[in-house]
A and B are shown apart, each in its own frame.
Chain A
Amino acid sequence: MATPKTRFGKIWSKAGAVLSVAAIGFVLFPIFLADNPWPVEARDYLAAMGQAETGAVNLVSSIYLGYRIFDTLGETIVLLVAVLGTMSILSRVESLVDDSPADDAGKSGADKAGDALKKSGGFSLSREKRHSHTLRTDLLEAVTGKIGPVILIFGFYVMLFGHVSPGGGFQGGVIVASAIVFLTLGNPGAGTLLSNTRVLSTLETAAFLLMLLLSSSGLLFGQGFFGNPMAGAENPEVYIIILNAVVGLKVGASLGFLCITMMGGHK
């Protein structure tokens, strides 16, 4: 495959692309259009036994945090590594940009975040629009500062009631993360505890460790790793609620950490 610099190279490369799309289409066609009846054994088993075995009314939760919690652990690990990786690549980008003046050092992380947001100036802002943008940022601060706590509470609600209603740790965590971002935006200068990246990263690690400990807790009760230690007890859903809270904490801290760093509050 030639580097498409010439006209001929360009045609050649488009032909290659068409060819590969056609090849993949040929392989995928039978799978996508399969019409055999959907297997329902797992569904029927879950409908009958799912609630009794895991305590979760929301059967998706019962799989996500019960039967297949091993997968969920893997998923949170992917998130953890991806956030760390993005962060380390980002710090290299920042060092390449190298336009942050030295006097930034005295400001708090949240302040820097606000600065960076102003500096970057939205998306396609020309110079003369800067002023109105600053106004808009002030408005943004006022609104987000008020909304932040409400969203935070909503996030915790979604997190803790995942076993009975749609939602759960992950979704709640994302909402908590956005609440953290809002709080950071809304309180420039004040610098809430949650917008401190070091606090967030420690919180994330702690939640990760807690999650590992919870997955191992079945050991003490003879189910081995990834079992539900309260399986035989009266209310096994307690385990799922705790897990939801831990997953939510972890996701919230990870994503909040990521977003705040991306907004420029990186120390």
Chain B
Amino acid sequence: MRTEDLVFMTIMLPLFGAAIAFFAKAFPKGSLTSKILEYGGAVVGLVLPWWALIQLFGPVYQGESFSGVVGGWNPALGIFYRFDGLSWLIQLLGYSVGLAAYIYSVGAGPRGPAFTGIFLIQTAALSAAIITTDMFNLFVCLEVLGVTSYVLIPTSKKPGASLAAFSYLMVSASAMVLFLVGTYGLYRLSGSLAYSEIASAVQGLSGTDHRVYLMSLVLLVSAIAIRVAVMPLYGWLPDSHALAPHAISSVLSGVLIKTPLFALSRVLGLFVQGADVGLLMSYAGAATALVAVVLALSQSDAKRLLAYHSISQIGYVVTAWGTAISIGANTQAGLVLMTAAYLHALFHAFFKGLLFLSVGTTVDLAGERNVYRLRGAARYLRAGGDRLALTFVTFLVGALSITAIPPMNGYISKNAIGYGMKGSFLYLFLTLAGVGTVASFIKLSRIYWPSAATREEKSVEPAAEKGNAGLGYRLTAQFMLAGICVATGVAFPQVLDVTGRLLSGGQVLKQPNLYGSATLLKTFYTALAGVGLFMLIQLKPMAHILHVIRERPRSFQGLFVSFSLATAALALWLLY
């Protein structure tokens, strides 16, 4: 088998797995054959691709990249693809979180061949979206990703999840039509759909042609920005991530919002105006990081709090990513920042996945999601079969990671971003967001604090019965992710080195000094400020302000208004 074919194995194996899993539907529910087919499909789709990834690691580590036309067709019409370090890294992200989430879902649901198949298709579409370098093919990949999420979000059977899925569907499907119009604009200018051909054709355009090109670029970027949920376009995310099943929440916030971002970096890296777009995106990202953390701090629902943190953390990623693109993704400084952006995306996928799963287990066992009401959750965990309250341990690992406490991986990636961003005023935003993160996770961890009131004891037993099923699978998935969080945090020099090499095509990048006294001191102050902020929000007037923020009216229409205004703003930014 040629190495080029291995590249497509990462897409085709999950699809084959999905087909096998779908066959399970033909057999009676719960029969042995049906189980074998379903889990066999999952193994084919989620485990075998690791073999391809391992095979491919050698060449990409050496800085090789595979590109060409899918199926060996003529370049005039075929679909171009490119497999390089970036693709490898994104696939690593997708397959590791996907595997953990699937193991969790075996225990916690949703189950069934249809779910397994759709989950595998989503994984395949993720790999395809990062490999392709063809505009229309990217459109198709994004549609597949979208349609799988619209189907997976309402599997939690909550009415709110249906509404969230519907809102997401409407806004992202409309954005995809705009993406199509953007593709049209670029095709009529260049006569091609491949990124590189388009980029070379649009150079040196002037007059109306130039305007057509700019507007098409704007449409593409804002259609993808919807998926990434940067600041003005985040409205669909909190509900859909909070109300989806826990395993799906972890994949949605871990992988699904980042893949389009890095797919976009392939496009922007080629276009001249990409740098301007990157700059604006970095501002939007910094604003996202700060505003979303304030919103998170005000939430009462445990999972919605986590969902707002996903937005805030993607803000970090977008800030670093945008700055990297604006200073040139091939310069030394740009590469350092891009490495940091990727690492934060990867680590966020691990620790946020972990947090969603741990908090999911906790709220299932306790039967209560309200942060203000749930107390002494460790007791519910024990009553539910988790005798040692291991879920609390995994939660703690996740919380320490996201608040950037050494030696967890969050410390590494946040400070790597800080190192690259030093001197920029955006850095201030990120530092402030860090303080808010500490405060809101102290708030969230209160659900595990022992409660003073003894009258709650009575309600422990009945809630514990139903959530017990599949605890082993849940804990396996949680420990898998927790282990990765600690390991990547401890072995950071190697991780940084490998990531840097993969992203730069084999160069050795300068490593930031992450355990310098200044960095450690800053972490200490951030944590201290976080504790202070937490104390502050306990006060009556602050609590009232948070209540107002939490209950602010949100409407479906607001989503569209902010989308179209953001699109127009981006257009004006590029025009003038």
Contacts and interface: CB of A to CB of B under 8 A. Distances in A.
Given A71-B140, A84-B151, A226-B71, A24 B564 contact: yes
Interface in A184-209: 198, 201-202, 204-206, 208-209
A45 B74 CA distance: 10
A77 B144 contact: yes
Nearest to B174: A24
A27 B219 contact: yes
B462 interface: no
A122 interface: no
A67 B301 CA distance: 49
B49 interface: no
Contact of A201 (B25, B128, B216): B25
Contacts of B4: 224
A36 B71 contact: no
Interface in B173-198: 178, 181-182, 184-185, 187-192
A229 to B, nearest CB: 10
Nearest to B73: A67
Interface stretch (A15-23, A127-135, A137-145): A15-23
Contacts of A205: 19, 22-23, 25-26
A223 interface: yes
A121 interface: no
Contact of A19 (B73, B155, B553, B561): B561
Given A45-B76, A68-B77, A226-B70, A27 B218 contact: yes
Contact of A88 (B155, B554, B571): B155
Given A81-B147, A202-B23, A227 B558 contact: no
DSSP majority for the B interface?
A: helix
Contacts of A75: 140
Interface in A206-250: 206, 208-209, 212, 215-216, 218-219, 223-228
A261 B3 CA distance: 44
Contact of A218 (B25, B26, B71, B77): B71
In the complex, which of the residues A27, A78, A223 has the most CB atoms of chain B within 10 Å of its own CB atom?
A27
A42 B137 contact: no
A92 B157 contact: yes
A61 to B, nearest CB: 13
Interface stretch (B204-212, B412-420, B448-456): B204-212
Contacts of B560: 17, 20
A28 to B, nearest CB: 7
A58 interface: no
Contact of A224 (B8, B136, B215, B561): B8
Interface in B99-152: 114, 117-118, 121, 125, 128, 136-137, 140-141, 143-144, 147-148, 150-151
Contacts of B184: 31
Interface size class of B (residues with CB under 8 A): 35 or more
A63 interface: yes
Contacts of A71: 79, 136-137, 140
Nearest to A81: B147
Contacts of A60: none
A82 interface: yes
A85 interface: yes
A34 B188 contact: yes
Nearest to A226: B71
A57 interface: no
Contact of B148 (A21, A36, A81): A81
A26 interface: yes
A32 B192 CA distance: 18
B12 interface: yes
Contact of A70 (B70, B188, B209): B70
Contact of A227 (B1, B72, B182, B209): B72
Contact of A20 (B74, B148, B563): B563
A99 B296 CA distance: 43
B136 A78 contact: no
A74 B128 contact: yes
Interface in A1-59: 1-4, 13, 16-17, 19-21, 23-24, 26-28, 30-32, 34-36, 38-42, 45-46, 49, 53
A235 to B, nearest CB: 18
A89 interface: yes
A219 B553 CA distance: 55
Interface in B311-331: none
B128 A202 contact: no
A259 interface: no
Interface residues of A, number: 69
A116 interface: no
Contacts of B76: 41-42, 45
Most chain A beta-carbon contacts within 10 A, residue among B4, B121, B209, B557: B557
B78 A68 contact: yes
A39 B184 CA distance: 12
Contact of A28 (B22, B215, B561): B215
Nearest to A39: B191
A152 to B, nearest CB: 23
B565 A202 contact: no
**Which residue, A38, A69, A224, has most C-beta atoms of chain B within 10 A?**
A224
B567 interface: yes
A66 interface: yes
B540 interface: no
A79 B304 CA distance: 31
A51 B219 CA distance: 35
A225 B8 contact: yes
A81 B121 contact: yes
A74 B26 contact: no
Contacts of B73: 53, 66-67, 227
A207 B215 CA distance: 41
Nearest to A208: B19
B191 A41 contact: yes
Given A27-B571, A34-B185, A36-B212, A42 B77 contact: yes
A84 B136 contact: no
Closest 6 CB pairs between A and B? Answer: A39-B191, A85-B151, A226-B71, A20-B564, A23-B568, A74-B140
27 contacts: A1-B558, A2-B553, A4-B555, A13-B555, A16-B557, A17-B561, A23-B567, A27-B215, A27-B567, A31-B181, A31-B212, A34-B212, A41-B191, A68-B79, A74-B141, A74-B144, A81-B147, A84-B151, A85-B151, A88-B151, A89-B162, A92-B157, A202-B26, A209-B16, A209-B19, A209-B20, A224-B72
Interface of A: 1-4, 13, 16-17, 19-21, 23-24, 26-28, 30-32, 34-36, 38-42, 45-46, 49, 53, 63, 66-71, 74-75, 77-78, 80-82, 84-85, 87-89, 92, 198, 201-202, 204-206, 208-209, 212, 215-216, 218-219, 223-228
